[in-house]
């Protein structure tokens, strides 16, 4: 398809917008979906090893929420954790006109106390593949998460077709508790819990000692004599009818791990990323980072007389975690029959290049669904990601500031003008990019812990350029950054150090895809642009749970004076306890 010229593109965009509004305006058909959730600890055996999980109505992960664009979701949360609070974020939902429902404890609400009930109510205004998960301390690690699928309304065509769809939620899993992990990270010296023991696909995995691999001839090998403990569920099963095409809505809510997902013998066509249609890309395997979602089309076009592995592998960190295996079973086969092939091993964990290349190839919008990017930014923040030693503790910092959540949620303190409830001094807009050496850890004592906020002009166009460096161990990690309250255009993934004069010209202003989560690759940079048009206070953070816990986040405020009356239910902590 030849590139549309600019006026045509603008026209297409306007049409898209009108279609979108038309879809929303069918309000007679918009539904309200009520869910009632008990949040409680339960002993679970997700990877065949029993440990506590924070569950929703007894399950981890929780149920997939299904809705149609324009519907309203109402979730009544009963906290039954006994002594621990909670808060639930609706990842990818922009919460337009409901910023108090974003579920980020310390940013948009006080925690939900044990014995208390909190109701989230929000509109899902865009079709796409989203999530929900705890957003409080490191509680997400304990398994409080799930998927949220918003379908396009009937009669609104998507730029691809398929016969059926499935959700594929990818997670990682530790045998130690969140508390052991979090306290270790906050200790001096840092005490790392280590790599996760298992990966999970739709909440199921098998810790390596209990894996029963099969030789290619289908006979069990010697390792098969380790009996699986009680409660050890069989692998997740995806059934397929030969010849049909399946849309897999694949999402990652890992706490640490970057992943590679693949289905043995089947290519995948990537068609959606974080709720936006991408220019279709055929891949053998999908690299996916925590907080990202993709829809891939898979055609059941292989030998239907056998089953196939669907595998999730760790990449970007040394692979000390058991890969997760699901089974793709063609109809008619024994659905429990293991594939005749050995468990796949996945790509080399430390090969960065294919990951960067796939990120770039997926950063292009579907030609019929290009949303025009504002041609220039009103403000650009150049955000240096560093690992610092601050006051004896290992922290992550952005331009030298490691975020500490205040005890009064920003949304309350900023809307109500509570002086001193957060650090009023704004964080730095940039860093000394000319002389800074990103190949070296930051100088000692370079960093502070603060609850500072970037205040954005309502409606302004903002560029965020994330600059990676090496951590204190001289390695450079992959950080998936997630923006609350907005989607952004992905303008570029660059290598090395970003140079504003040189690299701004490389931004894709023609057909960038929009997303809400984007990878910052090792020793590279990533540039995104968004419009600060959603009154509220919004977190932007690395989606690795340990990293945001260690301060790898910034906070944006825009138009907080335009936010409607705050519900009393988000208050009750810090200085919001005694507000009239």
List of residues 6+ apart from 299 with CB closer than 8 A: 243, 244, 245, 246, 266
Residue 198: name the closest of 260, 133, 257 by CA: 257
Cβ contact 128:69 at 8 Å = no
Q: What minimum distance in Å lies between the beta carbon of 86 and its own copies?
A: 8
List of residues 6+ apart from 365 with CB closer than 8 A: 276, 277, 278, 279, 371, 511, 512, 513, 514
Q: Where are the alpha helices (DSSP H) in 211-370?
A: 352-361
Question: Which lies closer to its own copies via its Cβ, residue 184 or residue 354?
Answer: 184
Question: Which lies closer to its own copies via its Cβ, residue 106 or residue 559?
Answer: 106
Question: Which lies closer to its own copies via its Cβ, residue 144 or residue 362?
Answer: 144
* 450 makes contact with its own copies (CB under 8 A): no
Q: What minimum distance in Å lies between the beta carbon of 78 and its own copies?
A: 10
User: Strand runs (DSSP E) across 216-335, as ranges?
Assistant: 237-240, 245-252, 258-263, 268-273, 276-283, 285-288, 293-299, 307-315, 324-330
* 145 makes contact with its own copies (CB under 8 A): no
Q: Hey, CA dihedral for 454, 457, 458, 464, is it positive or negative?
A: negative
What are 177's two structure tokens? 């508790």
Question: Which lies closer to its own copies via its Cβ, residue 4 or residue 418?
Answer: 418
- Quick check: bond before 202 cis, omega within 30? no
Q: What minimum distance in Å lies between the beta carbon of 36 and its own copies?
A: 16
Would you give the binding string for its own copies spanning residues 304-343, x where CB under 8 A is met?
----------------------------------------
Would you give the binding string for its own copies spanning residues 463-502, x where CB under 8 A is met?
----------------------------------------
Q: What minimum distance in Å lies between the beta carbon of 99 and its own copies?
A: 20
- Sheet of 307-315: strand order equals 237-240, 324-330, 307-315, 258-263, 285-288
* 281 makes contact with its own copies (CB under 8 A): no
Among 11, 15, 183, 457, binds its own copies (CB under 8 A): 183
* 113 makes contact with its own copies (CB under 8 A): yes
Among 42, 166, 244, 299, binds its own copies (CB under 8 A): 42
- Contact segment (CB under 8 A) with its own copies among 10-18, 165-173, 176-184, 459-467 equals 176-184
Cβ contact 153:68 at 8 Å = yes
Among 187, 305, 320, 446, binds its own copies (CB under 8 A): 187
Q: How many residues bind its own copies (CB under 8 A)?
A: 40
* 110 makes contact with its own copies (CB under 8 A): yes
Q: What minimum distance in Å lies between the beta carbon of 335 and its own copies?
A: 31
* 410 makes contact with its own copies (CB under 8 A): no
List of residues 6+ apart from 445 with CB closer than 8 A: 389
> 125-164 b/e with 16+ CB inside 10 Å = b?
bbbbbbbbbbbbbbbbbbbbbbbbbbbbbeeeebeeebee
Residues within the interface to its own copies (CB under 8 A): 41-43, 52, 82-86, 106, 110-111, 113-116, 136-139, 177-180, 182-184, 187, 191, 405-407, 568-569, 571-574, 577-578
């Amino acid at each position: 398809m030849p590139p549309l010229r600019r006026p045509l593109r603008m026209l297409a965009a306007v049409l898209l917008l009108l279609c979108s509004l038309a879809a929303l305006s069918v309000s007679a058909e918009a539904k309200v979906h009520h869910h009632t959730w008990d949040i409680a600890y339960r002993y679970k055996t997700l990877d065949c090893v029993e440990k506590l999980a924070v569950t929703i109505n007894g399950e981890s992960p929780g149920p997939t929420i299904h809705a149609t664009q324009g519907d309203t979701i109402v979730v009544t949360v009963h906290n039954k954790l006994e002594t621990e609070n909670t808060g639930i974020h609706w990842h990818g939902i922009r919460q337009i006109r409901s910023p108090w429902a974003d579920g980020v404890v310390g940013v948009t609400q006080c925690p939900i106390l044990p014995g208390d009930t909190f109701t989230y109510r929000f509109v899902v205004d865009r079709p796409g593949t989203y999530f929900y998960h705890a957003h409080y301390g490191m509680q997400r690690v304990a398994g409080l998460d799930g998927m949220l699928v918003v379908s396009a309304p009937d009669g609104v065509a998507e730029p691809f077709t398929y016969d059926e769809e499935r959700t594929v939620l990818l997670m990682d899993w530790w045998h130690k508790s969140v508390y052991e992990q979090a306290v270790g990270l906050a200790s001096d010296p840092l005490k790392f819990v280590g790599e996760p023991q298992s990966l999970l696909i739709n909440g199921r995995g098998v810790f390596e000692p209990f894996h029963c691999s099969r030789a290619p001839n289908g006979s069990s090998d010697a390792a098969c004599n380790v009996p699986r403990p009680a409660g050890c569920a069989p692998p997740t099963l995806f059934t397929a009818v030969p010849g049909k095409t399946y849309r897999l809505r694949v999402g990652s809510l890992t706490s640490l791990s970057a992943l590679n997902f693949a289905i043995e013998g089947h290519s995948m066509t990537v068609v959606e990323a974080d709720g936006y249609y991408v220019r279709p890309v055929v891949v053998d395997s999908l690299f996916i980072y925590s907080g990202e979602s993709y829809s891939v089309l898979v055609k059941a076009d292989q030998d239907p007389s056998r089953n196939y592995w669907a595998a999730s592998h760790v990449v970007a960190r040394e692979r000390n975690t058991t890969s997760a295996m699901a089974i793709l079973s063609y109809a008619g086969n024994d659905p429990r029959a293991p594939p005749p092939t050995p468990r796949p091993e996945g790509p080399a964990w430390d090969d960065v290049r294919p990951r960067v290349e796939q990120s770039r190839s997926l950063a292009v919008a579907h030609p019929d669904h290009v949303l025009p990017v504002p041609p220039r930014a009103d403000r650009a923040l150049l955000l240096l990601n560093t690992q610092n030693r601050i006051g004896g503790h290992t922290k992550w910092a952005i331009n030298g500031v490691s975020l500490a959540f205040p005890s009064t949620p920003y949304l309350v303190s900023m809307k109500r003008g509570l002086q001193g409830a957060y650090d009023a001094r704004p964080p730095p807009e940039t860093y000394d990019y000319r002389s800074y050496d990103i190949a070296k850890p930051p100088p000692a004592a370079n960093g502070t812990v603060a609850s500072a906020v970037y205040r954005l002009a309502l409606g302004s166009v903002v560029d965020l350029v994330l600059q990676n460096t090496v951590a204190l161990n001289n390695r450079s990690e992959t950080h998936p950054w997630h923006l609350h309250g907005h989607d952004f255009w992905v303008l570029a993934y660059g290598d090395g150090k970003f140079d504003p004069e040189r690299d701004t010209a490389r931004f894709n202003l023609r057909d960038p895809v929009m997303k809400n989560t984007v990878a910052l690759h090792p020793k590279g940079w990533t540039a995104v642009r968004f419009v600060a048009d959603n009154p509220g206070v919004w977190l932007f953070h690395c989606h690795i749970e340990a990293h945001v816990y260690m301060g790898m986040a910034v906070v944006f405020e825009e138009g907080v004076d335009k936010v409607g009356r705050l519900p009393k239910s988000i208050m009750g902590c810090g200085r919001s306890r005694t507000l009239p």
